[in-house]
Structures are given as C-alpha cells and as structure tokens.
C-alpha cells in the first residue's frame, strides 16, 4: 500500500549559493534528523502531545527509522536511518554537494510526511547538513570576519581595546552585585576554550575564574583549535568579566539546522542548570534558513520567555546586506522573541554606528524582516517597510560596543587579542541581565515590551549608517533603541 505524502509547510530548500550537486548521497550512510512537532496547546511552553508522538513513532517504524531521542517539552524527536530510508520516509533525494572546496549532504525542494501527520510535524531538520550559521566576531584590523589569519599583525592596527569590565563601566552597569545565583547559557557551533587561557586571562584582570561547564549536544564537544575559538572565548570572557559571580554553561552542538535547534532546546529546557539568560553569537541571513526552521526556533524562543529565560542574539557583522543579495536581517536576531543586538563604535569621546566596511572591518547588521511580521511592541517604533514593501520585525532592538577597532581585550589559544563584532554585544547584554536578575530577585524573561517603553534607559545613537539604513532619533535599523544606561536598564529588566 502506497501512503500519500504531503509537504511540510516552509520546508523548501535550495542548494547553497555557488554549490553544485556531485551526485546522490551514499545510500547506506547514516542520517540523523530532528522532527519538531506542534504544541499540544497554543500557548508558549506547551509540549508536544503524546498522540502526535505515537503517530510519529509508528511512521518511523513503517520506514525502518530508529527513534534516538524524545524531548516532549521541546517538541522534538530524533530519528536515525540510512540515506535510502530517509529518502523514502520524507520523499526527498539527498545528494552530495560541493561548495568552496568542501562537501555537504543536501537536498532541494520540499520535505514530505504521510498525510495523517499533516499539521503535527512542523519541521524536519538535519536532512541537509550544510553549515547553518556563522560566528559574528571580528578580529581588529584583520578584515574578513570569522577567521584569524595573523592576530599579531591585525591587532597592531587596533586603535583601542577595552577589557570587558571597562565597557561595562562606561555603560554604567550596576556594581552592587556580581550575578551570583544566575546561570548564563551560551550556544556554540564550533571551537572551544582552554582552561589554562581562562586562568591566565582572569588572573591578569584581577578577577576570579568563572564556573564554566561544557555541555555536549548531539555529540559535539569543547574542541579548541579552530577559528571559532575566538567566538567561544569572547563569549565566556565577556560574561565572566562582567557578571563575575554567574555560572556559564556552554552548549556545544554541530553547526547544522538540527544541531542549532537541539542546542537551544537543551539550554532553554535544562532543568538541572536552569539558565536565566541565553546568549547566541551565531546566525545567518534569513534567506539562508528554511521557513520551517525559523518558525521552529522561534517557538523555542517563545518557550524561553515563558520560562523566564531572556534570549540575546547578535545581529550580524556585514551591514545591511548580511552577506546576501539586497538588504537582509540575520536570524535568530530577527525572531520576535529574541533581543537582537546591534553594534556601535565606542570611543573616549562619542558613540556612533559601527561601520568599518570600507576598511574590511565589518559593520552592524540591521534592517527589517521579510519572514516575521511587525510585533506589537514595535508598533510605535517607526520601523520602515521590509524590502518587499511589507510590515516586518525591525532588527536590532539594542546595541553595544562592537567595532573591532574599539573592541574587547580577550585571550584565545595563548594569545591576547582585540576582538569585536556583534558577537560581543549579545554576551555583554546577557551579563547585564544576570546582574539585573540578581539585583531584582527575579528573572527578566522576555523584556521587549519594557524595552520599548523605556527611552531613558538607553543612550540613543543618532550618527552613522550600516550601508543600508541611517541612525536616527529613537529606534533605527542600525542600533535599535541604543546602548544601555546600565543601572536604569537593570531596573527596567526587573519591571520597574
């Protein structure tokens, strides 16, 4: 009997720009996917239903797939099978693709499920294992972003570098607490940290080494020795230097749509560590994601707010284009349930929009989403139309120092470096929120409504552009509402 299949809405995928299909994927190669189910009830935080799970397990059995994991709160089910089995189960044609000298397993077109799973399955992630996201850090003077060709020469070009705690001082962060009792979760899709570097770095800063835990997701682990080490160390050292008493949980996952989802799910629904803040410094232009993946992640971020977890994400380091055609915004910063973090240039005399594109040093991302509609909290923010002429979610919400030429002094793989990028802004705001949570005795949760009603808690950035949009009085698609007045912002995050 042939079972009728129907497409999963938003699952259409194209080959990566510049990629070419070399042929069919090896038929016996193992493939792991994450199937995301709908909520059992409409409110954020609702789990998947047992009925939907039972039907999915029956489907897996019918096609010879193995159920490897079930996470009802995150509505996700892990399935394992061969290329041949996955092709049959989801009516796809997995192939091997070549891009920039590397290969990935990919697919084109839509993903299909049996008709009796219509509506129950909202996403199938991991059939395509191309790298899903980029780390949004920049080495001072190096150009290019995400790579570290010659750290010594690059940093010689930096005009100024600040220890993270100096940036916090410049922004007036509260000093009557240290974040004790809070856990800040960090998502990493590559790289790692060296404990010896952390000891050396924090000793030089006169600070205690923070409590750091590496959490493995889908087999990934703390693996120093990659370019992404700069991202991992930037995140840890910014948080640890600003919220010195907070614990840091680093969730390492494969850089795939499935790995990204499972890392966020692991952090948001971690009943043991119970993080109150989540920092994400990885992302990609919305055009690089499937609609199903963005919607599935967005639902997880809504779960986070319901659980009192505040989520911050970098808005990107490549200006208004975000390395794609035309004007684009970066996801997950474009999720309405995430606080998108844009970048400024912070000097001893002023603060402007970060834009070093002319020198190859990047610029803050920002713009208006094509995928997500304008949320209610931005109804009076004068967000312009998106590139398609529609009403979209404006990015970013907030900002902070990101220009690598006025960047952060950190230590990576035995070398002191000056690093910037909006990757630094997400952990900076995460650390501020940890301080605020301790100070207020309550979690900030989803703070968007409060942020957009709290003009006096921001330093409005009105000078500069990101090669697509200009700064203006009030919210703008370069630096959002602005950078923080720390103590006032801590009060706002607490609901005052």
Q: State the catalytic residues.
A: 231, 235, 423
CA-based end-to-end distance of the chain: 62
Which among 113, 83, 86, 111 is positioned nearest to 96, based on CA atoms?
83
Length of the chain: 496
Q: What is the spatial distance between Cα 354 and Cα 204, in angstroms, rounded to a whole number? A: 29
Structure tokens at 211: 């409590």
Collapse the DSSP code of 103 into the 3-class scheme (helix H, G, I; strand E, B; otherwise coil) and give the result. strand
Structure tokens at 59: 């489907």
DSSP 441-489: TS---S-HHHHTT-GGGEE---S-B-SS-B--SS-BTTTBT-EE-HHHH
- Are the C-beta atoms of residues 310 and 435 closer than 8 Å to each other? no
- Are the C-beta atoms of residues 335 and 297 closer than 8 Å to each other? yes
Which among 241, 251, 244 is positioned nearest to 221, based on CA atoms?
251
Structure tokens at 125: 């992630």
Antiparallel, parallel or unpaired: β 30-37 and 121-125: antiparallel
């Amino acid at each position: 009997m042939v079972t009728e299949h129907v497409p999963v809405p938003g699952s259409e995928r194209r080959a990566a720009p510049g990629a070419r299909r070399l042929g069919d994927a090896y038929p016996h190669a193992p493939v792991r996917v994450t199937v995301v189910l709908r909520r059992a009830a409409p409110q954020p935080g609702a789990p998947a239903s047992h009925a939907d799970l039972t039907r999915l397990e029956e489907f897996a059995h019918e096609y010879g797939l193995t159920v490897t994991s079930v996470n009802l709160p995150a509505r996700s089910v892990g399935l394992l099978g061969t290329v041949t089995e996955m092709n049959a189960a989801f009516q796809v044609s997995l192939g091997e693709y070549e891009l920039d000298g590397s290969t990935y397993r990919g697919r084109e077109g839509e993903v299909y499920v049996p008709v009796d799973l219509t509506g129950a399955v909202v996403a199938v992630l991991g059939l395509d294992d191309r790298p899903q996201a980029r780390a949004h850090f920049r080495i001072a003077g190096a150009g290019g972003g995400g790579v570290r060709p010659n750290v010594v020469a690059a940093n010689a070009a930096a005009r100024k570098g600040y220890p993270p705690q100096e940036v916090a001082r410049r922004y007036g962060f509260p000093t009557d607490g240290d974040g004790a009792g809070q856990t800040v979760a960090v998502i990493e899709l590559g790289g790692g940290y060296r404990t010896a570097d952390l000891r050396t770095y924090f000793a030089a800063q006169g600070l205690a080494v923070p409590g750091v835990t590496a959490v493995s997701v889908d087999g990934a682990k703390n693996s120093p020795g990659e370019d992404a080490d700069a991202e991992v160390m930037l995140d840890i050292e910014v948080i640890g230097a600003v919220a010195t008493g907070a614990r840091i949980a680093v969730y390492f996952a494969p850089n795939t749509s499935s790995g990204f989802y499972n890392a966020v799910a692991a952090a948001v629904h971690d009943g043991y560590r119970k993080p109150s803040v989540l920092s994400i410094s990885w992302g990609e232009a919305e055009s690089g994601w499937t609609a199903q993946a963005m919607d599935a992640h967005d639902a997880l971020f809504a779960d986070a707010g319901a659980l009192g977890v505040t989520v911050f994400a970098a808005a990107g380091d490549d200006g208004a284009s975000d390395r794609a055609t035309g004007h684009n915004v970066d996801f997950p910063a474009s999720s309405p349930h995430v606080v998108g973090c844009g970048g400024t240039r912070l000097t001893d005399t002023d603060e402007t929009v970060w834009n070093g594109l002319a020198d190859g040093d990047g610029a803050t991302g920002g713009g208006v989403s094509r995928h997500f509609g304008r949320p209610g909290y931005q109804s009076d923010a004068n967000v312009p139309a998106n590139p398609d002429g529609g009403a979209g979610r404006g990015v970013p919400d907030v900002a902070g120092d990101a220009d690598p030429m006025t960047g952060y002094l950190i230590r990576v793989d035995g070398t002191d470096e000056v690093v910037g990028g909006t990757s630094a802004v997400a952990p900076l705001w995460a650390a501020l929120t940890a301080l605020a949570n301790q100070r207020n005795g309550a979690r900030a949760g989803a703070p968007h409504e409060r942020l957009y009603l709290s003009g006096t808690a921001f330093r409005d950035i009105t000078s500069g552009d990101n090669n697509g949009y200009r700064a203006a009085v009030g919210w703008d698609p370069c630096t959002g509402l602005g950078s923080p007045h720390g103590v006032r912002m801590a009060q706002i995050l607490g609901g005052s």
